[in-house]
Every structure is written in structure tokens, then in C-alpha cells.
Amino acid sequence: MKLMQLSVLLAALLPAMTMAAPYKVVAYYLPSQQRQYSAADIDASKMTHLNYAFAVIKDGEIVADQSSGTDQSARDFILLRGLKSRTPKLKTLISVGGWAGSREFSDVALTPQSRKKFADSAVAFLHKNGFDGVDIDWEFPVAGGDAANIMRPEDKQNYTLLLQALRERLDKAGKQEHRSYLLTAAIGNNQGFFRNTEMAKVAAILDWVNIMTYDFSGSWSKFAGHVAPLNNDPVLARPDADPEFNVSSTVEMALAAGIPASKLVLGMPFYGYSWKQCGALQHGQHQDCNGKGRGGVEPGELDFADISGTLVNRNGFTRYWNDAAKVPYLFNPDTGEFISYDDVESLDYKIRYLKQMGLAGAMFWQLSADRDAVLLDKVAKDLLKP
């Protein structure tokens, strides 16, 4: 009788156990010769998916980026295959495009023939290099992105058609090979992006979307703001500050545009931005500044590892906390330098938020900026551990 009761209980619990899908932890990896971090340093146990950034578009096809003049990609792809053999649950995707690599997307999306050529090249790239899927990082259809990008009004519909062509080609290959290939996209963080895309249709095509909920303010801005505030802080309002430039407002836009919460992966920055000669009021927050502050690989941009290791409550900087926006920041009153970034405390609020909203998981840009795995450990602990 007890055995029967146990069987009935297990039968009742099984659907709930089956439905409780694990969170995704999507790590972008950008090779960098300037950082002491390589593909060999990646700890695959702390992520579910690894997006290699970036492949580029050449003559309408996906190819490895050879701009550095080295065979780094080829070496990295071998290392990634080794990672997968040691961590069978890891899935790797090749990310195509990015800010500097989106110029040709409008052309490859333009016609049925160009879309087919691109999709065929995607499958060939996966076969050659051992990836499990493709991540499309078109920045951005119709408007925005780099000034050199090719842009057309019909990008709105062609973005959907390009992803549909990719989906059909990947599914055909997967059926032939008795496996499945992943298709995802990195998407924008403002109303303009959602006006210029058909995200309800796109979300139905994709396995999930990685929403870039960061870069709400940066060293390109005249005033010092926060790179990824969870919420708007009305105290810091100024006429040229957008109250919707924050994580929670952008997630609401994405859901309103038709992306299911179960397909939305929340982006997190593993870097910060700096400004110089900022006004001293409110410890520099939203004060006018005189351009980019100190940087690492890029002027005005700092890896979390460098911020954490050398600047937090050191070298004239004091760490402060904005409790409305749920983000930290640094200010040096002697130089007027202001630095916005995320840390373990702010990620704690973002992770709690994504769980409350029923989102699919977390994505971050990018691994080598967190060389000591401080932020990665936080994300993995909260999303992958029982």
C-alpha cells in the first residue's frame, strides 16, 4: 500500500519537476590580446551556453574574423570543442555581428536569395567549427548602430525573414543529423528598437533572446549616468535624461512587444564606464563632465576586474550606492572622475528581479572583463545551484 501511495505521489510531482526548467547562464566571450585571459581559462561549469564573439559577414556569408591577422579563432574553436567534451551540458554558439560587425546585415536580409546564402553559410560554419547554434547580433535594423551600417526601412520585416530562413535551414540540418541547433539573438534596449522590429514574430522563431539591458549611459554621454540601473531614480532627473533608460523599464517594453518572459534572458555588464572632471554635486551622479575618464582596453571603459582590483575605495575613489537604481558607483572628488559599474550587490538585485519576473536567465558581456570570476561566481551560484 505504501509503495502504491509513493507511486501516486511521484506521478503527481513529476509534471511540476519536468516543468521547472533550469535557468540559462549565457556567457559572451570576446577574445582580447590585451587581457590576461584566453579561451583556455573559461570555466564551463559556471554557464549553460557560451557565445563566441564575433564572426563577421563577408560576401554575404558567415566567416571567422581574421582582422587581427592571426589564427586565434581556429585555436579557440579547438579549445571550445575540448570544453564541450569535458562539460557535456555546455552548448556553444557563434555570435555574428556586434556593434562593429553589423554593416552587411541589411544586405544579407534583403532578398530570398541573400537570406538563403547566409543561412547555408551558417550551417557550414557550425559543421566546420563544432558550434551548437547561431546568435545574431544585428545592431540594429532600420536605425541606430554604427554610422557605417547599411540601413533600410524594410529591415523591420527583413529581420524577421532572415531569422526565419536561418531557423528553417538549421532545423533541416538538425533533422538530417538527428539533433537540434540553437538560434538566438541579442536585442536592443530602447523603444526605437522595438518600433523597428517585429519582436512577437521574432520571439516565436528564436529559442530565446538576449536583451542588452546595459549601456543606458556611457562615456559618450555629456553627463555621468549609470550603465545599467535596475530602476529609474527620479531624484537624478534632468531634461536630457530618459526615465526609461533602465533595466526594469526595458524588460517591460520587451514583454509588451510580445516576447514571452520564458524566452527573455537578462543582460548584465561585466564592465563599467568612466567620466572625468565631473561636477561634485551628488558625488558626480548626472553631473556634466569633460569627456571620457580612465580606461583599460578602450578609453573610458573599464573591466570589472580592474575596477574591483584597483579602484573600489582606493586611489582617491569612494564607493557609493544608489538605492533607488540599485547600482554602485565610484567618485574621486580630487579629479572629478565618476565610474559606473555593476558588482555582486547590484547583480543580487538583478537576479532577484529576473526570478520574480519569470525570465529565462542571465546573459553577460563579457567573460574576460571578469578575469577573477567574481561576478560569474555570483550568477552561477544563484541560477545554477539547487
Question: Virtual CA dihedral for 75, 76, 77, 78, nearest 10 degrees?
Answer: 60
Helix, strand, coil percent content, the chain, rounded in steps of 5: 40, 20, 40
**Best CA proximity match to 210, nearest among 141, 268, 265:** 265
Which grid cell is 213? Answer: 539591458
**Best CA proximity match to 189, nearest among 233, 232, 251:** 251
| Burial class (CB within 10 angstroms; exposed 0-12, middle 13-18, buried 19+) of 324 | middle
Q: Is the dihedral of CA 331, 332, 334, 335 positive or negative?
A: negative
**Best CA proximity match to 35, nearest among 3, 72, 90, 80:** 72
- What SS3 class is residue 133? strand
Contact 285, 235 (CB under 8 A): no
What is the C-alpha separation between 186 and 174, in angstroms, rounded? 22
Q: What is the largest CA-CA distance in the chain?
A: 78
What is the C-alpha separation between 363 and 267, in angstroms, rounded? 5
Residues that are catalytic: 139
Task: List C-alpha distances in Å: 295 to 100, 204, 281, 302, 358.
Answer: 19, 40, 23, 5, 36
**Best CA proximity match to 358, nearest among 21, 34, 118, 15:** 21
